[in-house]
Amino acid sequence: MERNHTTRRAFIRRSAAGAAGVALSACATRRGYGDRPNIVLIFADDLGYADLSCFGCDDYLTPHLDALAGQGVKFTDFYVAAPVCTPSRYALLTGKQPFRSNGLTTALMPSDTNGLDPAETTIAEVLQASGYRTACIGKWHLGQLDPDYHPFNHGFDRFYGFQGGLVDYYRHAYATEPDWWQDGDRLTEEGYVTDLLTGAACRFIQSSGDEPFFLFLSYSAPHYARDPEGKIILQGREADAGAFPGITDPKRREYAAMVKALDEGVGQVQQTLIDCGLAENTLVLFISDNGPELEWGGTCHPLRGAKRFLYEGGILAGADRDGRDRGSTLFHSRSLPFLLRPGRNRLRGITPRWREHRSDSPRGSGA
Q: What's the sign of the alpha-carbon dihedral 152, 157, 163, 165?
A: negative
Residue 85: active-site member = yes
Read off the amino acid at residue 107.
Answer: A
Q: Is 15 exposed, middle or buried (0-12, 13-18, 19+ CB in 10 A)?
A: middle
Residue 357: active-site member = no
Three-state secondary-structure class, residue 139: strand
Give the helix ranges, DSSP H, for 132-249.
193-206
Cα–Cα distance, 237 to 258 (Å, whole number):
7
Cβ within 8 Å of residue 350, ≥6 positions away: 36, 126, 127, 130, 340
Beta strands (DSSP E) in 200-290 are: 213-218, 225-226, 232-233, 282-288
Cα–Cα distance, 194 to 152 (Å, whole number):
22
Q: What's the sign of the alpha-carbon dihedral 326, 331, 334, 337?
A: negative
Cα–Cα distance, 135 to 64 (Å, whole number):
23
**Of 64, 141, 150, 172, which is the active-site residue?**
141
**Of 27, 57, 85, 202, which is the active-site residue?**
85
Beta strands (DSSP E) in 63-162 are: 73-75, 77-79, 133-139, 158-162
Cα–Cα distance, 314 to 304 (Å, whole number):
8
Cα–Cα distance, 107 to 115 (Å, whole number):
11
Cα–Cα distance, 77 to 43 (Å, whole number):
17
- Residues 313/303, Cβ–Cβ less than 8 Å: yes
Cα–Cα distance, 366 to 308 (Å, whole number):
15
Residues forming the active site: 85, 141
